[in-house]
Structure 1
């Protein structure tokens, strides 16, 4: 089939390239370690040339940190509320040394918190394309190093919040007394469950008041050293869910959909079940789907192709 679009998911540590046919299906995918922090000799231009080598000269749409202050070209954030159409209308353009034109997706800013995202807005667009109904009144959870909780109303992102769960987990294990000289984790489901329950029951004090329990339980012989990491994982993910309920980001009346894949998302689903939060998993191709959806709204692909 005829290639109609090239999409780039260009983050801090990775670069993924998608070649789409005329119906928006990904015909070919490439992956490189050329994130904006790991560029090859020749910089952005060389990384781009490798990503699209031998692919047709068609419109290129890129999302992620490539449009950040340290990226190829900075694209200003759009304040919420923001719809997919508004994102599509604010694309920035740059010309590559090879003569190709690249369109860059802006990130989003929630001025009320304040908070920012860059790259996740394209995942949101993909989730909305896959399940339009959640855009009327829904919540998206994007787990990761910096988890995002995104509020959706009438097809637009009305606000979002970042919780640094993954980064805090890494800091505690690598740079605190809690993780000092621990053996390799044994993937202890019971320890993870115990951490989630501890966070759930921490009340107004929150899990920060319970973090040191990981060491106390180990010294008491209740928690094996190899299970400390799983306990801390449950404690921090559990506290993120506790915060989401307390802040009203998630509630029994608002559908919540999780965007992501892999073992981390499985942990969030297990923790959500302990809290009684009903979370559905979105398809794992939301970024690719979001790039196509934004390109269609921007007129980078023909109306027939976008149908």
Structure 2
């Protein structure tokens, strides 16, 4: 069942933008003022794979259910969107733009769609990194979060490494205000598949949780295993998730946390190798859900690394930067830091 959540801030400030973070499983809307402040926020489960009805009419219906009153009350406000709504399965496809990319690049290559009532919506493209001699990589939605993060600190826009934990984690190199390169890791999806659809999950009880002590210990064992791994060790170490449980060396409730630590640890080894190739002193930022970023922070601590900052939802500010770069907001609104470090 859809859930709608609303939170309000300074409602005396004049709205300037309706921003939509439209993903696979959820839709979030933000009513924002000219200072990039969120005046109101709403969310439903109407992601692109869960629309009220198929086709373009489903997108229209989802938008109306989320913020039809905002659209009616503010007929002149620009509307922008980012995320999977711009994918091939979305409302309209916004093809990937190549690295290096900044907010201006996204705005220049944005796609446009109109609602049934004729309201225009500007949709941000994703980003493609296609280095010579290596497989291509893509992101869609993360580029908006990155734009929001870089708007908060000009030093980050000049040079930063951004780790974005999630289903498909990203490690991103930012240089001169642009997304210069990135690598994706299927850490979250691998964990879900192995836990739910493999032999490893059969010993993991669904009705019992590990104690905080057992959870922390199992996660640390997984991290240490990844730290000590040699080439090709991961498949062997994955099987240890089962044998640690079979032999009673680890409580069944803690096995998922060992698996989590192992997969995150291998990702961190690779990601930190990328960070080591960047200039000395490059700040490392974490962007994502607080609980997951906290888990990554624990893993990083085992590697002797402390992130420079841990950020939450930067998408609203990123959508604001995108709208500014597209010329949809008047002169004098918050500056577009991503394209002008």
Report the TM range for the smaller structure's normalisation: over 0.9
| 2:29 matches 1:5 | no
Is the contact made by 1:78 and 1:109 (CA closer than 8 Å) also made in structure 2? yes
Q: Deviations over 1:175-196 (max 9, x none)?
A: 1111114213315111111110
Is the contact made by 1:139 and 1:250 (CA closer than 8 Å) also made in structure 2? no
Alignment: residue pair count: 307
Task: Pick the aligned partner of 1:28 from 40, 56, 79.
Answer: 40
The equivalent residue for 2:58 is 43
The equivalent residue for 2:209 is 185
TM-score by length of 2: 0.86
| 2:281 matches 1:257 | no
The verdict on how the C-alpha distance between 1:69 and 1:148 changes in structure 2, with shifts beyond 3 A counting, is: same
Distance 1:123 1:249 in 2: 23
Distance 2:78 2:21 in 1: 15
The equivalent residue for 2:82 is 63
Distance 1:230 1:130 in 2: 33
Query: How does 1:94-243 map onto structure 2 within 5 Å?
Result: 94-112=113-131, 113-183=135-205, 184-186=208-210, 187=212, 188-243=215-270
Secondary structure of the residue aligned to 1:160 is: strand
CA apart distance, 1:50: 1.8
Q: Deviations over 1:41-85 (max 9, x none)?
A: 341111112222111121000000000000000011001011222
RMSD: 1.6
Secondary structure of the residue aligned to 2:148 is: helix
The equivalent residue for 2:100 is 81
Distance 2:137 2:97 in 1: 11
Is the contact made by 2:287 and 2:313 (CA closer than 8 Å) also made in structure 1? no
Distance 2:221 2:61 in 1: 49
Secondary structure of the residue aligned to 1:212 is: helix
The equivalent residue for 2:3 is none
Is the contact made by 1:138 and 1:152 (CA closer than 8 Å) also made in structure 2? yes
Task: Pick the aligned partner of 1:275 from 303, 306, 314.
Answer: 303
Is the contact made by 2:30 and 2:39 (CA closer than 8 Å) also made in structure 1? yes
